[in-house]
């Protein structure tokens, strides 16, 4: 366990460095947004493009892995939405909570952890997991949020937006660089092309900044001050438990017993499912002006606890 903890310690040390830099005032409040934008719109798309541009189709198209990881995310998301709706919460808020429980931090933490734990061969399935998370689960959440907001607007006699739900979702996805970049990268090997040496260098330099900057950005986000008494401990405990325990257990059961995944794909699927809640739900809550305090609490607590849970899982391999 100690040796495994030492392996993943640099990952969490980068998160802590971002947290400390914000707390002592080295980086200001705007640094979180700016560094996050750099990761989402430049560094991480370059990494995803580079991975898919050099991957064989057989390395990416793994139906069993896609099903095991994707179904575990969607199942936890759906269960959370049903539970929160049963407790009387609006559909839009329940959808955000579904993301809190079923949206692993594949983009910011998945790539560095997979690389450290399993080596370069784990990057292709990690890319698939990231795409499923930031596009598939995210798209379902947007559909539910848009639907819920329209119902609320009609109930209040405000009419709501005239833009169809499918168009709002499609517009959100087509503007997502984390979807566009790997799709464009996949065209390179499909067309039998190779990247020029200068483009290779560019992608390696820019993509190499993705992991450290993403982890520092996560630390900056976690250092943001929260309102006293906004933690909602019961709800936060439920969501964190589903994220750190429920989803990886489900991914393991599906991957091993239903889809019979080979060891590497099985462990990558479980590791991705075991990651703490990403910042995507918080950004979505902020964008739609929903209550974001519970989301920020879940991100913070799940990230801290994942030091133990992720290290524990890797120690058992």
User: In this model, does residue 27 exceed pLDDT 60?
Assistant: yes
pLDDT of residue 1: 56
Instruction: Work out how many domains the chain is built from and give that number.
Output: 1
Mean pLDDT (whole number) for 258-276:
94
User: In this model, does residue 97 exceed pLDDT 70?
Assistant: yes
Q: What is the mean pLDDT of the chain?
A: 84
User: In this model, does residue 108 exceed pLDDT 80?
Assistant: no
**Which tens digits make up the pLDDT trace of 203-213?**
999 988 887 88
DSSP string, 36-71: HHHIIIIIHHHHHHHHHHSS-HHHH--HHHHHHHHH
Residue 178 binned pLDDT confidence (cut-offs 50, 70, 90): confident
As a whole number of angstroms, the distance between CA 151 and CA 159 comes to: 9
pLDDT of residue 176: 73
Two tokens, residue 187: 């065209």
> Residue 292 is part of a domain; what is its CATH number?
1.20.1530.20
User: In this model, does residue 5 exceed pLDDT 90?
Assistant: no
User: In this model, does residue 120 exceed pLDDT 70?
Assistant: yes
**Which tens digits make up the pLDDT trace of 153-176?**
666 655 555 666 667 667 766 777
Q: What's the pTM?
A: 0.78
* Helix%, strand%, coil% for the chain, nearest 5: 80, 0, 20
3-state secondary structure at position 88:
coil
Residue 92 binned pLDDT confidence (cut-offs 50, 70, 90): confident
Mean pLDDT (whole number) for 45-66:
82
With vertex at residue 299, the alpha carbon angle to CA 223 and CA 165, rounded to the nearest 5 degrees, is 120
pLDDT of residue 307: 86
As a whole number of angstroms, the distance between CA 134 and CA 50 comes to: 18
Contact 36, 221 (CB under 8 A): yes
Least confident of 156-160, 168-172, 195-199, 231-235: 156-160
As a whole number of angstroms, the distance between CA 279 and CA 266 comes to: 25
**Which range marks the domain in which residue 293 is found?**
2-224+234-316
As a whole number of angstroms, the distance between CA 204 and CA 99 comes to: 31
Q: Is residue 148, in this structure, part of any structural domain at all?
A: yes
Q: Is residue 283, in this structure, part of any structural domain at all?
A: yes
Residues paired with 277 in a beta bridge = 104
pLDDT of residue 222: 80
Contact 80, 101 (CB under 8 A): yes
pLDDT of residue 213: 87
Residue 263 binned pLDDT confidence (cut-offs 50, 70, 90): very high
User: In this model, does residue 283 exceed pLDDT 80?
Assistant: no
Choice between 73 and 144, residue whose per-residue pLDDT is larger: 73
pLDDT of residue 76: 96
As a whole number of angstroms, the distance between CA 202 and CA 180 comes to: 18
The percent of residues above 70 in pLDDT, for the chain, comes to 89
Range among 50-64, 90-104, 174-188 rated most confident:
90-104
pLDDT of residue 79: 96
Q: Is residue 229, in this structure, part of any structural domain at all?
A: no
pLDDT of residue 276: 92
Q: Where does residue 129 rank: exposed (0-12), middle (13-18), buried (19+ CB within 10 A)?
A: buried
């Amino acid at each position: 366990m100690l040796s495994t903890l030492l392996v993943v310690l640099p990952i969490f040390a980068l998160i802590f460095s971002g947290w400390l830099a914000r707390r002592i005032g080295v980086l200001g409040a705007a640094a979180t947004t700016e560094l996050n934008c750099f990761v989402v719109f430049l560094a991480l798309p370059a990494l995803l493009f580079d991975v898919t541009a050099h991957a064989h189709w057989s390395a990416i198209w793994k139906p069993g892995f896609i099903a095991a990881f994707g179904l575990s995310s969607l199942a936890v998301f759906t269960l959370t939405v049903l539970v929160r709706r049963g407790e009387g919460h609006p559909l839009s808020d329940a959808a955000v909570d579904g993301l809190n429980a079923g949206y692993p931090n594949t983009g910011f933490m998945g790539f560095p952890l997979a690389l450290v734990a399993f080596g370069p061969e784990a990057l292709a399935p990690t890319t698939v997991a990231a795409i499923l998370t930031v596009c598939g689960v995210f798209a379902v959440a947007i559909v539910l949020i848009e639907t819920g907001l329209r119902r609320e607007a009609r109930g209040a006699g405000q009419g709501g937006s005239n833009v169809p739900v499918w168009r709002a979702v499609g517009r959100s996805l087509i503007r997502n660089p984390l979807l566009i970049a790997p799709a464009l990268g996949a065209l390179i090997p499909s067309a039998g092309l190779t990247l020029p040496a200068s483009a290779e260098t560019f992608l390696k330099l820019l993509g190499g900044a993705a992991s450290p900057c993403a982890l520092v950005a996560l630390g900056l986000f976690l250092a943001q001050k929260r309102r006293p008494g906004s933690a909602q401990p019961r709800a936060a405990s439920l969501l964190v438990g589903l994220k750190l325990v429920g989803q990886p257990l489900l991914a393991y059961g599906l991957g091993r017993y239903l889809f019979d995944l080979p060891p590497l794909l099985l462990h990558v699927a479980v590791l991705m499912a075991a990651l703490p809640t990403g910042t995507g739900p918080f950004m979505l809550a902020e964008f739609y002006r929903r209550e974001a305090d519970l989301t920020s609490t879940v991100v913070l607590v799940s990230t801290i606890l994942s030091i133990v849970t992720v290290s524990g899982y890797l120690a058992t391999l």
